[in-house]
Amino acid sequence: MKYKIFPVSIVAFFLLTLSISAFAQNRYNTQWKNERHNLQLSLGTAHLYSDLGGGADINESTLNGLNFFSSRANIGFGYNLRLHRFWNFKTGFNYAWLAGDDKYTKQPNREARGLRVETMLFELSTQIEFYITVQEEIRYVRGQLKKGFPFTSYIFGGLCGFAYIPMAPNADGKLVRLRPLGTEGQGYFPTRSTYSVLSWGVPFGVGFKYNVNEKIGLGLEWGIRWCFTDYLDDVSRSYAPKAAFGDNADALYFGTLAAEPESGKQSSYQPGEQRGNPNNDDAYMFINFSVYFKIGGKDGYRKTSIPNRYHRF
């Protein structure tokens, strides 16, 4: 997406700036070394940001472009490795179901188009988290007693790769895969090849963690993935002529027709009319609740005259 470079640059600059102060503090706080490994289980909601649905403006590039009525579920698991008191490396897998529907938008052209999609997505990601605040009750720094924060907060960035399968209900209500249908004339036009179901993206976001005890922690995270594909919803370019679909009823249904919201009937678009916007790639967003399980290592205590309870994951 043309918007992805700016936020990624801001995140990278912010991480670099904060790391300078973090490095200076690290040598006085070594308890994180005893809590380096933990497993993570996540459950939450998944939201598609694409050519379908959206806000009142067809060029909407903000959170107003998301339709929460199209929210679906996401589940994932991951492994976390503490690299530093303020740095955490995370790798994980997410399974999500994404959805978009023109009936939830107030933009007239999209509403008249009447398309919808249900996309199955499998994601592998690697991320670096920078901890802005650190949950810890008390600690000693240079011989002085310091009070910590009641929770951990962080920002993150990284890379992800994913496989996806766009689907939609046909005229009979059966969920069918859209990619093999060539709904925009893939295979008919020499300049339109079948898109790949494999792509990658740039995840970034913010999160919070809270230690329940020495072994278990809880987390809440918001993260968006700017993708390098425009086909999470199977929509990107213009309508193709009926000749591109032969006698395939499903291809004709998805490739040449649109719903009239008021009547519920079907109306044909003309070949060459805009179906999507190829200048903006898609994105998707997760809002996840997580449980962390510390594995291996020793208890993260330092022997002092005032007992420390536990520190953040």
Cα dist from 198 to 159, 178, 276, whole Å: 14, 15, 20
Residue 310 in any domain: the answer is no
- Identify the pLDDT of residue 135: 83
Each residue's pLDDT tens digit, 33-44: 767 899 999 999
- Identify the pLDDT of residue 146: 62
Q: Which domain holds residue 142?
A: 5-294
Residue 186 in any domain: the answer is yes
Query: Who's near 155: CB < 8 A, 6+ residues apart?
Result: 11, 14, 15, 129, 130, 132, 204, 205, 206, 207
For the chain, how many residues are written?
313
User: At residue 302, does pLDDT exceed 60?
Assistant: no
Residue 308 in any domain: the answer is no
Residue 301 in any domain: the answer is no
* CATH number (domain holding residue 130): 2.40.160.20
- Identify the pLDDT of residue 256: 83
Q: For residue 23, what pLDDT band results from cuts at 50, 70 and 90?
A: very low
- Identify the pLDDT of residue 84: 86
Residue 304 in any domain: the answer is no
**Angle at CA of residue 148, ends 147 and 149, nearest 5°:** 135
Q: What total number of domains does the chain contain?
A: 1
Residue 239 vs residue 62, higher pLDDT: 239
Cα dist from 23 to 29, 85, 294, whole Å: 10, 9, 24
Would you give the DSSP letter of residue 266?
E
Residue 48 in any domain: the answer is yes
- Identify the pLDDT of residue 201: 97
Residue 117 vs residue 264, higher pLDDT: 117
Residue 272 in any domain: the answer is yes
CA 286, CA 48: separation in Å to the nearest integer? Answer: 9
Range among 14-18, 104-108, 160-164, 293-297 with highest mean pLDDT value: 160-164
Residue 302 in any domain: the answer is no
CA 250, CA 262: separation in Å to the nearest integer? Answer: 23
Each residue's pLDDT tens digit, 257-266: 654 444 454 5
What proportion of the chain, given as a percentage, has pLDDT over 90? 50
Mean pLDDT of the chain: 82
Residue 250 vs residue 60, higher pLDDT: 250
CA 30, CA 302: separation in Å to the nearest integer? Answer: 9
**Angle at CA of residue 108, ends 166 and 73, nearest 5°:** 35
| SS3 category, 310 | coil
Residue type at 162 in one-letter notation: F
CA 208 to chain centre: 17
CA 8, CA 283: separation in Å to the nearest integer? Answer: 14
Q: For residue 211, what pLDDT band results from cuts at 50, 70 and 90?
A: confident
What proportion of the chain, given as a percentage, has pLDDT over 70? 73
User: At residue 305, does pLDDT exceed 70?
Assistant: no
Residue 226 vs residue 57, higher pLDDT: 226
User: At residue 307, does pLDDT exceed 50?
Assistant: no
